[in-house]
């Protein structure tokens, strides 16, 4: 069948970020994890005692919780966790100026296009290499308005009260095994504070890179958006391809206060040997809006369900996600919305593509608590299957405890139709152009929401792989 030959070339997984730098670090813990490592990380960071106690408590909870048996296959993870480095310090401090970043690391990020992006269109940039933020900067214009964009460590040092007030409140330690692990060994990530009424018109961006083989990255991000403030945050992730598995487990906590608006965009393009188990949650207060835009293209297994806890009247939560599961990949993603106040609204739109033996799973929860009158939620999931070995699953949990609420869920599964291709070929398009057009059209509703450079990148990836497919 010409079509099957054609779809072989729809290849998002030709990984161009797989290059490796030689190892460079000033300190790292021994492989595996025990209490002494947790203490060591805290000592390295010269933390106050409460944070050490927080970590130790979290470590106990982590050890007591069983490995999840739902979601993706985690049977090999236990062994992986015994081998990885939980903390690798690449340099002594977080630099404010790009010139001060060691050449080797700087080169890596330059190859990934980071400083260039900063100059063009960003309000601030943070870059994490292994376990630490190596670079963090914010444009003077925003700093002068009271915006804080720091590494999480500097957030703890420089704004201890603000930090302590919110840290660990959105995602409690015991939320799940991996949030407990992160709470014990967290390192790196951003601390963001947008003061009341400030409208950031360009995004803040954080970039995460794992270079070391057998590395565990545990960034922790805390974002506080004050009343009436607007901001957008973008994170991107890549890693080299190694024969052994690596591990990334972040915790992102966001507080969106009254009338504020915040969008968190992730383009996750980890290499295909990465376990990516992330907990992301936002508490959304009265009339505020939280939007998650979640692109999962890389990793071996991703388990990630960005959530919105709609706590104030009229709060709105939106989750848009694209998942691409290529050969050997399992994207177990989705979203959670919890309606806990009157007239709250939410929408989840999920699109996935599974190719070859790739598997994409939508797993979501929509919960309406009693008393959340007038709440509305709509969930739509569309899955596109490219090959007969591809797999897709949909597990939407709907729990409604309130009469005056409307909740709907719809999902469809389809393949690229012969008729669609035939029609487009009739109109003079080549087969690969037609295929690309159909796939892009499928992703369009979400792709158009991406920051321009990412949308372009996504389209380019698909288009590039369509080329040269005619033999």
Which SS3 state, helix, strand or coil, does residue 397 take? strand
Closest CA to 212 of 248, 185, 236, 250: 248
Q: How far is the CB of 3 from another protein (least distance, A)?
A: 11
Please count the CA atoms within 13 angstroms of the CA of 195 that sit on its side-chain side: 7
**Is 205 in contact with 233 (CB distance < 8 Å)?**
yes
Residues 6 or more apart whose CB falls under 8 angstroms from that of 72 comprise: 301, 302, 303, 330, 332, 361
- Shortest distance, position 294 Cβ to another protein, whole Å: 20
**Beta carbon of residue 60, minimum distance to another protein (angstroms, whole number):** 22
Residue of 331, 467, 348 lying closest to 398 (CA atoms): 348
**Residue 197 or residue 441: which is nearer to another protein going by CB?**
441
**Residue 230 or residue 391: which is nearer to another protein going by CB?**
391
Q: Which is nearer to another protein, 71 or 168 (CB)?
A: 71
Backbone torsions φ then ψ of 386, nearest 5 degrees: -95, -40
| Dihedral, CA of residue 188, residue 244, residue 84 and residue 46, to nearest 10 | -20
Query: CB pairs under 8 A, 24+ apart, for 432-440?
Result: 432/6, 432/9, 432/466, 432/467, 432/469, 432/470, 433/466, 435/6, 435/7, 435/10, 435/466, 436/10, 436/462, 436/463, 436/466, 439/10, 439/353, 439/384
Closest to another protein by CB, 147 or 385: 385
- Give the shortest CB-370-to-another protein separation in angstroms: 8
Shortest distance, CB of residue 438 to another protein, whole angstroms?
A: 14
List contacts with another protein (CB under 8 A): 70, 368, 370, 383, 385-415
Tokens read off for 114: 């980071």
Closest approach, Cβ 326 to another protein, in A, equals 15
Length of the chain in residues, anyone?
471
Q: Are 190 and 223 in contact (CB under 8 A)?
A: yes
The nearer residue to another protein, 134 or 337, going by C-beta atoms, is 337
Residue 445 CB, nearest approach to another protein (Å): 18
d(CA 89, CA 29): 9
CB 229, min distance to another protein, A: 34
- Shortest Å distance, C-beta 397 to another protein: 5
Q: Token pair of 60, please?
A: 């106990």
Closer Cβ to another protein, 299 or 392, answer by number: 392
Rounded to 10 deg, the angle between the 49-64 and 35-44 helix axes is 150
Cα dihedral 350, 351, 354, 358 in deg (nearest 10): -30
Residue closer to another protein by CB (options 269, 354) is 354
Closest to another protein by CB, 286 vs 357, is: 357
- In this complex, which beta carbon is closest to another protein, that of residue 42 or of residue 390? 390
Pairwise CA distance, residues 70 & 64, whole Å: 18
């Amino acid at each position: 069948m010409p079509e099957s030959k054609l779809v072989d070339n729809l290849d998002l997984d030709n990984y161009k970020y797989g290059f490796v730098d030689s190892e460079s670090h000033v300190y790292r813990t021994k492989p595996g994890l025990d209490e002494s490592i947790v203490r060591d990380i805290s000592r390295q960071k010269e933390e106050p005692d409460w944070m050490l106690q927080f970590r130790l408590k979290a470590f106990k909870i982590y050890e007591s919780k069983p490995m999840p048996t739902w979601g993706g296959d985690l049977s090999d993870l236990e062994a992986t966790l015994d081998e990885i480095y939980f903390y690798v310090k690449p340099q002594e401090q977080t630099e404010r100026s790009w010139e001060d970043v060691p050449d080797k690391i700087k080169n890596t990020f330059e190859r990934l296009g980071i400083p260039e992006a900063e100059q063009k269109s960003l309000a601030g940039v943070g870059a994490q290499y292994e376990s630490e933020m190596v670079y963090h900067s914010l444009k003077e214009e925003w700093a002068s308005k009271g915006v804080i964009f720091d590494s999480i460590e500097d957030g703890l040092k420089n704004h201890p009260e603000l930090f302590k007030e919110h840290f660990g409140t959105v995602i409690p330690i015991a939320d799940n095994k991996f949030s407990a692990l992160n709470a014990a060994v967290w390192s790196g990530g951003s601390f963001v504070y947008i003061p009341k009424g400030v409208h950031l018109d360009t995004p803040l961006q954080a970039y995460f890179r794992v270079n070391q083989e057998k590395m565990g990255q545990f960034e922790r991000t805390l974002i506080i958006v004050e009343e009436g403030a607007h901001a957008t945050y973008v994170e991107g992730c890549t890693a080299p391809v190694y024969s052994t598995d690596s591990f990334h487990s972040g915790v992102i906590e966001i507080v969106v206060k009254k009338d504020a608006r915040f969008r968190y965009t992730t383009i996750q393009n980890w290499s295909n040997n990465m376990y990516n188990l992330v907990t992301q949650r936002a508490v959304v207060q009265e009339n505020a809006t939280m939007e998650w835009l979640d692109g999962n293209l890389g990793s071996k297994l991703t388990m990630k369900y960005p959530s919105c806890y709609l706590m104030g009247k009229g709060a709105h939560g939106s989750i848009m996600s694209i998942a691409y599961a290529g050969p050997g990949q399992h994207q177990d993603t989705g979203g959670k919305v919890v309606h806990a106040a009157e007239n709250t609204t939410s929408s989840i739109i999920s699109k996935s593509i599974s190719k070859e033996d790739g598997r994409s799973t939508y797993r979501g929860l929509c919960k309406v608590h009693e008393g959340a009158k007038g709440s509305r939620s709509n969930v739509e999931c569309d899955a596109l299957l490219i090959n007969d070995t591809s797999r897709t699953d949909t597990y939407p949990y709907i729990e409604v405890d309130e009469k005056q609420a409307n909740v709907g869920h719809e999902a469809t599964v389809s393949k690229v139709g012969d008729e669609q291709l035939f029609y487009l070929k009739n109109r003079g398009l080549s087969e690969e152009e037609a295929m690309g057009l159909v796939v892009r059209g499928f992703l369009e509703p979400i792709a158009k929401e991406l920051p321009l450079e990412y949308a372009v990148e996504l389209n380019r990836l698909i288009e590039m792989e369509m080329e040269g497919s005619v033999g």
